[in-house]
Structure 1
Amino acid sequence: MTTIVLLLIAIGVVPLIVGIVRLRRDPAAIDRRAIAASTILAALAFNLTFFWQEIWLVLPKAMTPGLHPILYHNDHDWTGTAPIVELLQGTGAISTLVSGIAFLFIARRATRPTARLFAWWMAFEGFFQSASQFAIGALIPGNDVGRALTWLGMSNASRGMLLPIVGILMAKASQALVRIDRPAILLPAALSILLIIPFRVPRDPIEVVLIPIVVHLIGTGWVMLGASFTPVKAPPVQGRPALALPFAALLAILLVFQCILRPGIAF
Structure 2
Amino acid sequence: MIGIAAVSILLVGPLLLGLAGLIPSLRSREREIPTSSAWNSKLILLSALLYTLAFNLIFFVQEIFLVLPKALLPGVRPTLFHNNHAWEGEHPLTHLFQGTGALATFLIGVACLLLLRRGAGRSAPIRLFLVWVAYCGLFMALPQVVIGALNPGNDVGMAMDYLQLSAAAKTAAALLALVAMPVLALLLTRPLLTLAAHQGEISSAGARTRFIFQVATLPALLGIALILPFRIPRELLEVVLLPVLVTVIGIAWIQAGAWRVRTAQANGSTSNLRIVVPMGAAVLILLVFQFVLRPGIGFF
**TM-score above 0.5:** yes
Matches within 5 A, 1:86-235: 86-107=95-116, 108-182=119-193, 183=212, 184-233=215-264, 235=266
Contact 1:39 1:191 (8 Å CA) reproduced:
yes
Q: Rg larger in 1 or in 2?
A: 2
Contact 1:171 1:222 (8 Å CA) reproduced:
yes
Secondary structure at the counterpart of residue 84 of structure 1: helix
Contact 2:146 2:175 (8 Å CA) reproduced:
no
TM-score, normalised relative to structure 1: 0.90
Structure 1 residue aligned with 2:11? 13
Contact 1:180 1:232 (8 Å CA) reproduced:
no
Q: Which amino acid aligns with 2:143?
A: S
Matches within 5 A, 1:19-30: 19-24=17-22, 28-30=37-39
Distance 1:32 1:187 in 2: 11
Q: Which amino acid aligns with 1:257?
A: F
Secondary structure at the counterpart of residue 239 of structure 1: coil
Query: What's the C-alpha RMSD, in Å, of the aligned pairs?
Result: 2.2
Structure 2 residue aligned with 1:65? 74
Distance 1:210 1:218 in 2: 12
Distance 1:261 1:230, change over 3 A: same
Following superposition, the deviation at residue 208 of structure 1 comes to 0.2
Following superposition, the deviation at residue 189 of structure 1 comes to 1.5
TM-score, normalised relative to structure 2: 0.81
Contact 2:9 2:179 (8 Å CA) reproduced:
no
Distance 2:128 2:287 in 1: 23
Secondary structure at the counterpart of residue 69 of structure 1: strand
Following superposition, the deviation at residue 167 of structure 1 comes to 2.5
Distance 1:42 1:7, change over 3 A: farther
Contact 1:100 1:126 (8 Å CA) reproduced:
yes
Structure 1 residue aligned with 2:280? 248
Cα shift readout 1:232-260 (whole Å, capped 9, x = no counterpart):
54552333532111111100000000000
Question: Of 221, 227, 237, which residue of structure 1 is paired with 2:268?
Answer: 237
Distance 1:83 1:37 in 2: 45
How many residue pairs were aligned? 264
Matches within 5 A, 1:32-51: 32-51=41-60
Distance 2:225 2:99 in 1: 28
Structure 1 unaligned spans of 5+ = none
Distance 1:168 1:226, change over 3 A: farther
Contact 1:189 1:216 (8 Å CA) reproduced:
yes
Distance 1:198 1:89 in 2: 25
Distance 1:29 1:56 in 2: 43
Contact 2:152 2:161 (8 Å CA) reproduced:
yes
Distance 2:84 2:141 in 1: 16
Structure 2 unaligned spans of 5+ = 26-34, 194-211
Distance 1:157 1:27 in 2: 52
Q: Which amino acid aligns with 1:67?
A: V
Secondary structure at the counterpart of residue 148 of structure 1: helix
Distance 1:42 1:29 in 2: 22
Contact 1:11 1:218 (8 Å CA) reproduced:
no
1:263 to 2:295 alignment: yes
Distance 1:256 1:263, change over 3 A: same
Q: Which amino acid aligns with 2:235?
A: D
Question: Of 84, 97, 105, which residue of structure 2 is paired with 1:75?
Answer: 84
Secondary structure at the counterpart of residue 53 of structure 1: helix
Secondary structure at the counterpart of residue 274 of structure 2: coil
Distance 1:70 1:230, change over 3 A: same
Distance 1:234 1:166, change over 3 A: farther
Secondary structure at the counterpart of residue 54 of structure 2: helix
Distance 1:232 1:261 in 2: 45
